């Protein structure tokens, strides 16, 4: 969930999905705060518009928040608790999905209203939000930020990242920099970074076909 809805790249992807032969369509939304229903309903709406049918089931999983422009990520035991609760919940979701259980999508009038007002505002200029990004002298030119960017939005120029204004604001480059050299504006300095312990940087690089 990004800005009480789908991240822009996921919304576009959902619009291209071909579900003509799908028997059962479900979604798992990860979010860092509360809510999630508005993101599921946005996805349901995109699918219905294209196929007539929407989601058969929708699930919401709380994960450590990664929107570092607003808050640092939880650390220590708080992070551990969130991750173990998510693992337990995923087991239960797995059971429902295996049996193709249909569920009513969660609904919150409040989330729908906030989504309606803020989602278009936040997402309309999202690709240019990297204009706030900067890199400090702590940069060691390792190239990891460039290698893991899901949309190839980073070049290295003279060994330092340059952002090309096609950003999805996933915040991955900020979190993954091993020296904490990437900031967004003035507020991210000192905020806790987070990388999911099951995610290996080398795997991300391989998936994205990038090398350092
Ligand atoms: C740009 C941005 C906006 C976000 N907006 C929300 C939000 O509105 N509500 C929320 O609960 N979490 C929000 N989050 C937190 C993410 O939903 C959460 O960290 C999620 O686990 C991210 O999944 P990912 O690591 O697969 O990108 C936001 C994160 C980002 C980067
Ligand atoms: S990940 Fe950090 S240290 Fe490595 S090139 Fe990018 S900014 Fe520099
Ligand atoms: S890794 Fe950085 S530059 Fe690439 S999409 Fe994510 S936030 Fe934008």
| Res 206: pLDDT | 82
Give domain status of residue 55, yes or no: yes
pLDDT digits (tens, 9 = 90+) for 146-176: 999 999 999 999 999 999 999 999 999 999 9
| Res 210: pLDDT | 55
- Residue pair 170/150 in contact by the 8 Å Cβ criterion: yes
The pLDDT confidence band at residue 201, using thresholds 50, 70 and 90, is: confident
Average pLDDT estimate for 97-101:
97
Distance CA 160, CA 134 (A): 10
Ligand 2 centroid – CA 140 distance (Å): 6
Whether residues 116 and 22 fall in one domain: yes
Whether residues 112 and 143 fall in one domain: no
Please tell me if the CB atom of residue 180 comes closer than 6 angstroms to any atom of ligand 2.
no
Whole-prediction pTM: 0.95
Whether residues 119 and 133 fall in one domain: no
> Percent of the chain having pLDDT more than 90?
88
| Res 172: pLDDT | 97
| Res 207: pLDDT | 80
Closest ligand (CA of 62):
1
Give domain status of residue 91, yes or no: yes
Whether residues 142 and 207 fall in one domain: yes
Ligand 3 centroid – CA 189 distance (Å): 17
The pLDDT confidence band at residue 24, using thresholds 50, 70 and 90, is: very high
| Res 202: pLDDT | 85
Structure tokens at 120: 């278009």
Domain stops at, among 90, 125, 160: 125
Average pLDDT estimate for 112-120:
93
Give domain status of residue 96, yes or no: yes
Average pLDDT estimate for 7-16:
95
Looking from the CA of residue 1, the nearest atom of ligand 1 is 17
Give domain status of residue 151, yes or no: yes
Give domain status of residue 133, yes or no: yes
* Residue-wise burial string across 16-27, b where 16 or more C-beta atoms lie within 10 A, e elsewhere: eeeeeeeeebbb
- Cβ burial, residue 190 (10 Å; 0-12/13-18/19+): exposed
Please state, rounded to an integer, the average pLDDT across all residues of the chain. 94
Whether residues 25 and 118 fall in one domain: yes
Whether residues 21 and 118 fall in one domain: yes
Count of domains forming the chain:
2
* Helix, strand, coil percent content, the chain, rounded in steps of 5: 40, 15, 45
Structure tokens at 201: 């940087």
Residue located nearest, by CA, to atom 6 of ligand 3: 170
Whether residues 70 and 162 fall in one domain: no
DSSP letter string, 117-181? HHHHHHHHTGGGGGGGEEE-TT-----HHHHH-TT--EEEETTEEEE-S------HHHHH-TT--
> Percent of the chain having pLDDT more than 70?
99
Residue located nearest, by CA, to atom 2 of ligand 2: 177
- Distance in angstroms between the alpha carbons of the first and the last residue of the chain: 29
Domain stops at, among 125, 155, 177: 125
Domain stops at, among 80, 109, 125: 125
Whether residues 149 and 202 fall in one domain: yes
Give domain status of residue 3, yes or no: no
Give domain status of residue 2, yes or no: no
Q: Domain of 18?
A: 8-125
The pLDDT confidence band at residue 93, using thresholds 50, 70 and 90, is: very high
Report the CATH number that the domain containing residue 204 is assigned in CATH: 3.30.70.20
Whether residues 130 and 49 fall in one domain: no
Whether residues 113 and 130 fall in one domain: no
| Res 211: pLDDT | 47
The pLDDT confidence band at residue 212, using thresholds 50, 70 and 90, is: very low
Whether residues 115 and 166 fall in one domain: no
Ligand 2 centroid – CA 150 distance (Å): 16
Ligand 3: residue of 171, 175, 205 to mutate (most ligand atoms within 8 A of CB) is 171
Give domain status of residue 25, yes or no: yes
Whether residues 75 and 54 fall in one domain: yes
């Amino acid at each position: 969930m990004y800005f009480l809805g789908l991240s822009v790249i996921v919304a576009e992807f959902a619009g291209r999905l071909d579900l003509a032969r799908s028997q059962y369509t479900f979604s798992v939304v990860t979010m860092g705060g509360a809510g999630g229903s508005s993101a599921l309903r946005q996805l349901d709406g995109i699918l219905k518009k294209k196929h007539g049918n929407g989601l058969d089931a929708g699930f919401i999983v709380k994960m450590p928040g990664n929107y570092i422009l607003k808050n640092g990520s939880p650390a220590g035991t708080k992070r551990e608790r969130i991750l173990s609760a998510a693992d337990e919940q995923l087991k239960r979701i797995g059971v429902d999905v295996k049996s193709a259980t249909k569920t009513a999508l969660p609904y919150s009038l409040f989330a729908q209203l906030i989504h309606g007002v803020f989602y278009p505002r936040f997402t309309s200029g999202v690709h240019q939000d990297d204009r706030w990004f900067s890199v400090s002298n702590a940069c060691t030119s390792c190239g990891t930020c460039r290698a893991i960017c899901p949309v190839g939005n980073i070049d290295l120029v003279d060994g330092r990242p340059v952002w090309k204004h096609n950003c999805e604001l996933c915040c991955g480059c900020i979190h993954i920099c091993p020296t904490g050299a990437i900031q967004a504006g003035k507020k991210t300095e000192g905020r806790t970074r987070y990388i999911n312990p099951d995610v290996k940087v080398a795997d991300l690089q391989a998936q994205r076909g990038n090398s350092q």
